């Protein structure tokens, strides 16, 4: 009797299609990657382990508020495997329960940012095979992302060229906290390759760069990390705009995943104000910074802003654009959003349809 | 209000929980150190199921640097976003004045006190034995 009743709860209330832009499949253990790693790299991992750039090599800078790297407590398989590692449970508890039509897989395991550049390349590539074999082949609704070793540019580009011909892959996947600001030219070959295949760049918050989440040093609490993703991503997006990334790649689409979006309008206002005074410093920008922001930056809903006055949420999206906001659940993490509650049901069907599916259909390569 | 049998007392030991459905409504029943508490199973925030939550204590602070921990196991923390509800009142710690989950009275009754002709509607069907005790919830 202690089971969640299986029912397409979402579909019962709505005929809208549902695309979830943030699902986290998880390794049962690192042994899941062994078939895709050479003996050389498997031995290296066993003997030397990983080399994250931050100081907490065996965990996160901020312990999560729920065990299992911040897992929903009801998402642990009965056999004791980690939360998020069981496809049958994910199907029962999430894909079938809500009637998810397409789910974007965003693997968060730290290998892609490892400081051993060649190991990170091997791990990123292994993750891509793992997504195909253990998830997508068994559940075609789950679409893989091209995980790239983003600090190893050459290998990242090679990985995009290797994977992109397979139309199952729907985006190139980065984390937000990189060694340098993501707009810097060092990273441009990654964007160039993505644009070549018309793949969006999905940037999920977190990362292993060793850079504080806050621009004012290391804060004390996890709750600060949760709130500072917005400011960290604000700096990231600013770097992309100011470096001229969107002038160079006018078709590039950036999806900010789990970053919130309340910060976006104020960033646009501030950048435009300063740009009027200092456009000579960045003469490669042909338009006001807010225009790049509005044209190139897509956001996902979870964890959605909850202003005291619900109309403020509408004002926010009016500024960002109703074609730029896409539903995400963050399954199986503790701060998961339920599709029924996170997108207000009193919004017009047209708006909800855009957020639940239409925008994602036009952004990702499905 | 009708008493509904949740389980025989001996099958509901301390530090366990049971989910019952009464009139189509899910109710999570907790045995905390021999005391029974019953709350609606759905979190009022986004409908996480409280039966899967963790029982925690009450952490309070009079000022930064001073902490007290009391009432161990008397708060249920939603398995999704961690909202905490007081098992004794159903009220949410984050906003007790406005947010709460429905709370139900519980009791332990003797089998002999249950009228064999009109037994309380049991959440699950089982024979009521005169010599046993039963945990009931009032709905």
Contact B21 A337 (CB under 8 A): no
**Cβ–Cβ under 8 Å, residues A237 and A297:** yes
CB-hemisphere CA count at 13 Å for B97? Answer: 0
Return the ∠ at Cα A214 (arms to A210 and A216), rounded to 5°: 105
The answer as to whether A166 is a domain residue is yes
Contact B53 A338 (CB under 8 A): no
Contact B46 A66 (CB under 8 A): no
Q: Is A275 helix (H, G, I), strand (E, B) or coil?
A: helix
- In this prediction, residue A355 carries a pLDDT of 97
A271-312 tens-digit pLDDT: 999 999 999 999 999 999 999 999 999 999 999 999 999 999
For B107, counting Cβ atoms within 10 Å of its Cβ (0-12 exposed, 13-18 middle, 19+ buried), the class is exposed
Consecutive H or E run containing A204: strand A201-204
Structural domain including A112 reads: 37-363
Angle A117-130/A39-48 helices, nearest 10 degrees? Answer: 110
Domains of chain B, CATH where assigned:
3-138 (2.102.10.10)
- In this prediction, residue A2 carries a pLDDT of 40
Output the average pLDDT for chain B. 90
The answer as to whether A303 is a domain residue is yes
The answer as to whether A181 is a domain residue is yes
Total domain count, chain A = 1
H helices, E strands: number in chain A? 16, 9
Provide the shortest C-alpha distance from residue B24 to chain A (in Å).
12
Instruction: Determine what percent of chain B is predicted with pLDDT higher than 90.
Output: 74
The answer as to whether A6 is a domain residue is no
Nearest-CB residue to B79 (from A1, A73, A340): A73
Contact B20 A1 (CB under 8 A): yes
The answer as to whether A60 is a domain residue is yes
**A·B CB contacts under 8 A:** 44
Nearest-CB residue to A72 (from B20, B47, B79): B79
- In this prediction, residue B114 carries a pLDDT of 76
Q: Which long-range contacts (CB under 8 A, 24 or more apart) does A308-317 make?
A: A310/A344, A313/A344, A314/A347, A316/A261, A316/A262, A316/A264, A316/A265, A317/A261
Q: Are strands B106-110 and A254-257 parallel, antiparallel or unpaired?
A: unpaired
User: What does A41-65 look like in DSSP terms, one character per residue?
Assistant: HHHHHHHH----SSS-TTS-SS--S
B55-72 tens-digit pLDDT: 999 999 999 999 999 999
Q: Are strands A102-105 and A142-143 parallel, antiparallel or unpaired?
A: parallel
- In this prediction, residue A57 carries a pLDDT of 60
The owner of tokens 């249950």 is B114
For chain B, the residues whose C-beta falls within 8 A of a C-beta of chain A are 18-21, 45-49, 51-54, 79-82, 124
Q: Return the beta strands (E) in B9-130 as ranges.
A: 16-22, 25-32, 35-40, 54-60, 68-77, 84-86, 103-104, 106-110
Instruction: Determine what percent of chain B is predicted with pLDDT higher than 70.
Output: 91
Instruction: State the pLDDT confidence band at B3, using cuts at 50, 70 and 90.
Output: confident
Largest CA distance in chain B: 60
Provide the shortest C-alpha distance from residue B49 to chain A (in Å).
8
**Cβ–Cβ under 8 Å, residues B43 and B102:** no
What is the pTM assigned to this prediction? 0.90
Query: Which regions of chain A are under pLDDT 50?
Result: 1-8, 12
Q: State how far the alpha carbon of A321 is from the alpha carbons of A172, A297, A325, B57, in Å.
A: 23, 10, 7, 44
Interface test with B, best of A74, A97, A220 (most B CBs within 10 A): A74
- In this prediction, residue B23 carries a pLDDT of 86
Question: What is residue A257's DSSP assignment?
Answer: E
User: Can you tell me the ipTM of this complex?
Assistant: 0.77
The answer as to whether A19 is a domain residue is no
The answer as to whether A11 is a domain residue is no
CATH number of the domain enclosing A323: 3.20.20.140
The answer as to whether A16 is a domain residue is no
Q: What is the C-alpha to C-alpha distance for residues B54 and B73, in angstroms, rounded to an integer?
A: 8
């Amino acid at each position: 009797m202690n089971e969640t009743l299986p029912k397409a709860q979402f579909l019962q209330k709505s005929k809208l299609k549902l695309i979830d832009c943030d699902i986290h499949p998880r390794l049962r253990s690192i042994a899941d990657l062994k078939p895709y790693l050479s003996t050389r790299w498997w031995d290296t991992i066993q003997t030397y382990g990983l080399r994250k750039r931050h100081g907490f090599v065996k965990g996160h800078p901020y312990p999560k508020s729920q065990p299992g790297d911040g897992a929903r407590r009801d998402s642990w398989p009965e056999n004791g495997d980690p939360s998020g590692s069981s496809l049958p449970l994910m199907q029962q508890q999430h894909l079938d329960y809500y009637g998810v039509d397409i789910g974007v897989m965003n693997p968060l395991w730290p290998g892609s940012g490892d400081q051993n550049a060649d190991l990170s390349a091997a791990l990123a590539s292994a993750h891509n095979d793992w997504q195909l074999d253990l998830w997508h082949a068994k559940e075609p609704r789950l679409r893989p992302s091209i995980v790239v070793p983003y600090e190893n540019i050459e290998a990242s580009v090679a990985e995009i060229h290797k994977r992109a011909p397979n139309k199952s892959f729907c985006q190139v996947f980065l984390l937000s906290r990189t060694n340098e600001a993501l707009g810097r030219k060092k990273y441009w070959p990654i964007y160039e390759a993505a644009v070549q295949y018309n793949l969006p760049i999905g940037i999920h918050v977190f990362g292993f760069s060793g850079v504080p989440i806050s621009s004012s040093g290391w804060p004390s609490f996890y709750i600060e990390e949760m709130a500072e993703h917005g400011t960290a991503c604000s700096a990231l997006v600013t770097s992309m705009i100011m470096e001229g990334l969107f002038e160079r790649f006018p078709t590039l689409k950036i999806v900010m995943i789990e970053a919130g979006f309340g910060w976006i309008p104020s960033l646009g206002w501030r950048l435009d104000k300063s740009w009027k005074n200092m456009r000579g410093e960045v003469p490669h920008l042909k338009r006001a910074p807010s225009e790049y922001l509005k044209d190139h930056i897509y956001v996902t809903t979870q964890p959605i802003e909850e202003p005291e006055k619900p109309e403020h949420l509408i004002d926010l999206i009016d500024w960002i654009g109703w074609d730029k906001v896409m539903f995400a659940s963050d399954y199986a993490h503790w701060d998961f959003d339920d599709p029924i509650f996170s997108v207000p049901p009193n919004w017009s069907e047209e708006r909800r349809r855009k957020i639940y599916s239409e925008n994602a259909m036009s952004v990702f390569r499905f | 209000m009708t008493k509904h049998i949740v389980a025989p007392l001996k099958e509901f030991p301390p530090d366990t929980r049971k989910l019952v459905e009464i009139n189509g409504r899910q109710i999570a029943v907790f045995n905390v150190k021999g005391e029974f508490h019953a709350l609606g199973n759905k979190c009022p925030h986004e409908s996480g199921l409280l039966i899967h939550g963790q029982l925690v204590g009450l952490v309070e602070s009079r000022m930064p640097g001073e902490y007290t921990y009391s009432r161990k196991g008397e708060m249920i923390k939603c398995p999704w976003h961690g909202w905490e509800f007081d098992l004794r009142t159903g009220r949410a710690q984050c906003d007790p004045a406005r947010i709460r989950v429905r709370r139900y009275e519980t009791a332990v009754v003797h089998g002999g006190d249950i009228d064999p002709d009109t037994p309380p509607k049991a959440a699950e069907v089982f024979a009521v034995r005169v010599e046993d005790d039963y945990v009931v919830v009032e709905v």
